[in-house]
């Protein structure tokens, strides 16, 4: 389908059992606002956006009472949700049960839960999603139960929750000082804007090998004897004839994976160098508006104070071919898979500070990099770079990666 696979909204209902649904440009299932869904035994793979999105807003009347109009309800059982171009599942307000699913290898998180999504997440296998396992965003007082799941092999966190209500109540002194500075905005019965209830995470979950940190492209391929697309474990996998690293159980899986793998495939050749003409890049300080509507000059970007050493060091010399370390960062938060999306690249001194579009570096950053400060979906990686042709060409070397930098 060009657009959404199946949609149920405004009282509509979906019952989908044992289908294979692939290659839609956006969501497969969109349930809401005010939709109902029973999704069981399906294979939901290779779609442009989330495998399943369900939500709709809880409305609020003047008396600050919550009104359920808009909230959706969905049950997701025993589905395989993999290789989708956003998160596997995204909940945006409603009541949900997610049980016995395999949620793996999605471009962002395995699951995103926010906007008052009451969720039971039971007995799922959540693995190898690019950002992490489960991210609980601003979910107010809605309870999330996470029980009996296997959450493994993520570069990022297994379960990540934004500032939680329980934690900030515990440290009430901190809360009082905060309240003096910024008046908390009540948004619902006992709810404060920007906070989430701590999820109930049971000891029956099996959390293994998450927070792996930055990985070399080769490292993400030699984890287990499993097909790179469907993750089937087999002794008879065939290797990609070009990189001899990616392996597949069938021709179909290889064809399905090639859409993305063709970019990563090149980086798996240790002698491959990504070369970008400087004339194809743009300076990164252009069009960055300030409060007064003017652009910042060079080097006047605001950086998080946690980035130790940013702005220090020796600027790279464009007439030399000496290697220096750059940070490559993916752009806008929560965007669909798009290998031509702009990346930001800068060195420690921020004198070299450009935007460029390059599918191999996009894959390097998103597949091998770690989440930046706010841990939503923006990623970063450090890489060796050097100039060529008197600064007209910038080369990115991935034969080895530099040590992790604090800036
Ligand atoms: Zn396969
Ligand atoms: Zn390959």
Residue (of 20, 28, 35, 19) closest to 1 by Cα position: 28
C-alpha separations of 365 from 195, 373, 383 in Å: 29, 15, 9
**117 pLDDT above the threshold of 70:** yes
Nearest ligand, measured from the Cα of 238: 1
Q: Of the given ranges (105-119, 143-157, 233-247), which has the lowest mean pLDDT?
A: 233-247
Q: Give distance in angstroms: CA of 254 to centre of ligand 2.
A: 9
Q: Give distance in angstroms: CA of 227 to centre of ligand 1.
A: 5
Output the average pLDDT for the chain: 87
| φ, ψ for residue 177, nearest 5 deg | -65, -40
Q: What is the pLDDT of residues 234-280, one digit of tens each?
A: 888 999 999 999 999 999 999 999 989 999 999 998 889 999 999 99
Beta-bridged to residue 13, according to DSSP, are: 36
Question: Domain boundaries in the chain?
Answer: 6-208, 217-267, 273-397
Q: Is the Cα torsion angle 256, 260, 265, 266 positive or negative in sign? A: positive
Q: Of the given ranges (90-99, 129-138, 262-271), which has the lowest mean pLDDT?
A: 262-271
Q: Give distance in angstroms: CA of 360 to centre of ligand 1.
A: 23
Per-residue model confidence (pLDDT) at position 393: 97
| φ, ψ for residue 368, nearest 5 deg | -115, -10
Q: Please, where are the H alpha helices in 94-171?
A: 165-170
Per-residue model confidence (pLDDT) at position 48: 86
Residues with CB in 5 Å of ion ligand 1? 227, 229-230, 232, 249, 253
* Better-predicted residue by pLDDT, 271 or 120: 120
- In terms of Cβ atoms closer than 10 Å to its own Cβ (0-12, 13-18, 19+), residue 140 is buried
Q: How many CA atoms lie within 13 A of 147 on its CB side?
A: 10
Beta-bridged to residue 384, according to DSSP, are: 325, 397
Please, which pLDDT band fits residue 60 given cuts at 50, 70 and 90? low
Q: Give distance in angstroms: CA of 237 to centre of ligand 1.
A: 8
Q: Give distance in angstroms: CA of 12 to centre of ligand 2.
A: 43
* Better-predicted residue by pLDDT, 22 or 286: 22
Q: Of the given ranges (25-34, 209-218, 338-347, 378-387), which has the lowest mean pLDDT?
A: 25-34
Q: What is the pLDDT of residues 303-353, one digit of tens each?
A: 888 889 999 999 999 999 999 999 999 977 788 899 999 999 999 999 999
Q: Give distance in angstroms: CA of 239 to centre of ligand 2.
A: 8
Two tokens, residue 159: 């379960």
Nearest ligand, measured from the Cα of 46: 1
Task: Please give the biggest Cα pair distance in the chain.
Answer: 68
pLDDT > 90: percent of the chain: 67
Beta-bridged to residue 346, according to DSSP, are: 327, 353
Contact 37, 54 (CB under 8 A): yes
Nearest ligand, measured from the Cα of 234: 1
Q: What distance in Å separates the CA atoms of residue 138 and residue 376, rounded to the nearest whole number? A: 11
Q: What distance in Å separates the CA atoms of residue 87 and residue 104, rounded to the nearest whole number? A: 10
Nearest ligand, measured from the Cα of 104: 1
């Amino acid at each position: 389908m060009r657009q959404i696979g199946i949609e149920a909204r405004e009282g509509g209902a979906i019952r989908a059992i044992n289908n294979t649904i692939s290659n839609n440009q956006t969501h497969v299932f969109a349930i809401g606002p005010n939709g109902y869904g029973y999704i069981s035994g399906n294979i939901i793979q290779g779609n442009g956006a989330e495998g399943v999105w369900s939500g709709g807003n809880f409305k609020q009347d003047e008396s600050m009472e919550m009104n359920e109009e808009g909230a959706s309800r969905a049950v997701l059982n025993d589905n395989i949700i993999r290789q989708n171009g956003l998160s596997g599942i995204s909940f945006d307000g409603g009541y949900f049960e997610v049980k016995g699913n395999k949620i793996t290898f999605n471009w962002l998180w395995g699951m995103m839960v926010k906007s008052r999504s009451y969720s039971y997440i039971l007995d799922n296998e959540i693995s190898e999603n690019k950002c992490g396992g489960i991210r609980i965003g601003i979910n107010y007082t809605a309870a999330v139960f996470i029980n009996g799941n296997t959450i493994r092999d993520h570069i990022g966190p297994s379960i990540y929750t934004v500032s939680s209500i329980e934690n900030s109540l515990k440290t009430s002194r901190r809360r009082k000082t905060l309240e003096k500075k910024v008046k908390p905005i009540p948004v619902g019965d006992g709810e404060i804007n920007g906070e989430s209830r701590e999820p109930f995470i049971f000891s029956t979950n099996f959390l293994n090998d998450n927070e792996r940190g930055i990985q070399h492209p080769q490292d993400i391929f030699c984890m287990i004897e499993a097909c790179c697309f469907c993750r089937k474990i087999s002794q008879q996998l065939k290797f990609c004839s070009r990189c001899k690293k990616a392996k597949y159980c069938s021709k179909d899986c290889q064809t399905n994976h090639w859409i993305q793998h063709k970019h990563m495939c090149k980086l798996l050749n240790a002698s491959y160098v990504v070369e970008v003409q400087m004339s194809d890049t743009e300076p990164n300080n252009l069009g960055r508006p300030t409060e007064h509507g003017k652009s910042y000059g060079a080097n006047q970007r605001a950086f998080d104070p946690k980035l130790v050493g940013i702005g220090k060091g020796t600027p790279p010399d464009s007439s030399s071919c000496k290697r220096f370390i750059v940070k490559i960062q993916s752009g806008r938060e929560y965007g669909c898979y798009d290998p031509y999306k702009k990346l930001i690249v800068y060195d420690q001194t921020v004198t070299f500070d450009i935007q460029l579009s390059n599918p191999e570096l996009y894959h390097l950053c998103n597949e091998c990099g770690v989440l930046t400060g706010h841990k939503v979906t923006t990623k970063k990686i450090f890489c060796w770079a050097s100039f060529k042709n008197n600064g007209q060409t910038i080369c990115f070397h991935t034969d080895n990666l530099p040590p992790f930098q604090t800036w």
